[in-house]
Copies of this chain bind each other. A is one copy, B any other.
């Protein structure tokens, strides 16, 4: 495993917020290319990682990159079009679990369904292979889309043949596949609306970025309900990258988007662009959902690390997401 994959960079998932809820297990982690430059580089070849499905003390289930360190959502996995990832899933839970992925190429033996015999018994191990490819032309002249996208992975077998129990309990995570040349963010936040919880938390987590940082949001929905993701004072293009891809790009620019179970999308914003530092709400805009707790805060700090009008105590009382670090050199 090369250093390119597991860097020391600051975490960008809901470390602290999750930690408050599920203490020692809430170590956010990610499989990520080092941000050596500002755009996604050339694809590497084959990479291998191990993913652990584990049970939390409160009965939730989660994926993690190290034993004893599961997180909800699971680790952010990033790929560049053309790369192949072999993921050995170690099932440390007491139920049959699996790994099903959206967006990338996989044969039936990596489908993660009982129907295709690609599930893992308790105590078992199983290798799933995810392949990706760049956009290309087919012989008939049509275009085969590349694998790039804001995707995700989840269990497909716990509880029901559709993984309803596994997803409910936390077995899901984000996958971002980039095209060579795609703009890289400074940090990535993952928001998963899972029924009436956000990242399986009753109170949605907070996120923090510095004014001017390029922040990527990956938004995934699971469960049984539909939601509208909204963020205050920032907006994005409703296309592949969330960024307008040219001066003539006529994509809708939006700040609110309907999203249903297993849908996923992502976008990048410049934190506080034209609006300054501040506490900016993000929330599901279904009124009863936000009122029930599906609302968190995007803290945008000024040059001194402060949010004018608010104390750091207040901020840390909410979360330190994106501000903590974690070494994975030991892997």
Which residues of A are interface residues toward B (Cβ below 8 A)? 38, 100, 102-103, 105-108, 111, 113, 115-117, 131, 133, 135, 138, 140, 142-146, 148-149, 160-164, 167-168, 183, 222-224, 226-228, 230, 232-233, 235-241, 243-265, 270, 273-276, 278-281, 283, 285-291, 295, 297, 308-309
Residues on B with C-beta less than 8 A from A257 are 263
Given pairs A163-B287, A246-B248, 8 additional interface contacts (CB within 8 A): A102-B256, A108-B309, A146-B253, A164-B290, A167-B287, A249-B250, A254-B263, A256-B260
Give A192 Cβ to nearest chain B Cβ, in Å: 14
Q: Which of B135, B255, B258, B262 contacts A102 (CB 8 A)?
A: B255
B144 touches A232 (CB 8 A): no
Bound CA span A56–B269, Å: 40
Given contacts A108-B278, A108-B309, A252-B240, contact A262 B230 (CB under 8 A): yes
For A262, A278, A281, the residue with the greatest tally of chain B CB atoms inside 10 Å of its CB is A262
B291 touches A160 (CB 8 A): yes
B248 touches A245 (CB 8 A): yes
Can you list 9 A-B pairs, Cβ within 8 angstroms, ordered by A?
A: A106-B233, A116-B278, A145-B244, A149-B252, A167-B287, A223-B287, A224-B286, A256-B260, A257-B263
Beta-carbon nearest neighbor of A300 in chain B: B108
Beta-carbon nearest neighbor of A108 in chain B: B278
Give A256 Cβ to nearest chain B Cβ, in Å: 5
A135 touches B237 (CB 8 A): no
- Count copies of this chain in the complex: 3
Given contacts A140-B38, A287-B164, contact A260 B108 (CB under 8 A): no
Given contacts A103-B255, A162-B290, A279-B116, contact A273 B144 (CB under 8 A): yes
A145 touches B239 (CB 8 A): no
Bound CA span A164–B287, Å: 6
Given contacts A262-B228, A287-B223, contact A276 B108 (CB under 8 A): yes
A228 touches B286 (CB 8 A): no
Give A269 Cβ to nearest chain B Cβ, in Å: 10
Bound CA span A287–B239, Å: 26
Q: Which of B143, B261, B265, B275 contacts A105 (CB 8 A)?
A: B275
Beta-carbon nearest neighbor of A259 in chain B: B258
Q: Which of B100, B103, B258, B285 contacts A258 (CB 8 A)?
A: B258
Residues on B with C-beta less than 8 A from A102 are 230, 255-256
Given contacts A105-B233, A252-B149, contact A113 B288 (CB under 8 A): no
A243 touches B143 (CB 8 A): yes
Q: Which of B38, B167, B250, B276 contacts A251 (CB 8 A)?
A: B250
Bound CA span A135–B250, Å: 12
Give A56 Cβ to nearest chain B Cβ, in Å: 20
Give A185 Cβ to nearest chain B Cβ, in Å: 11
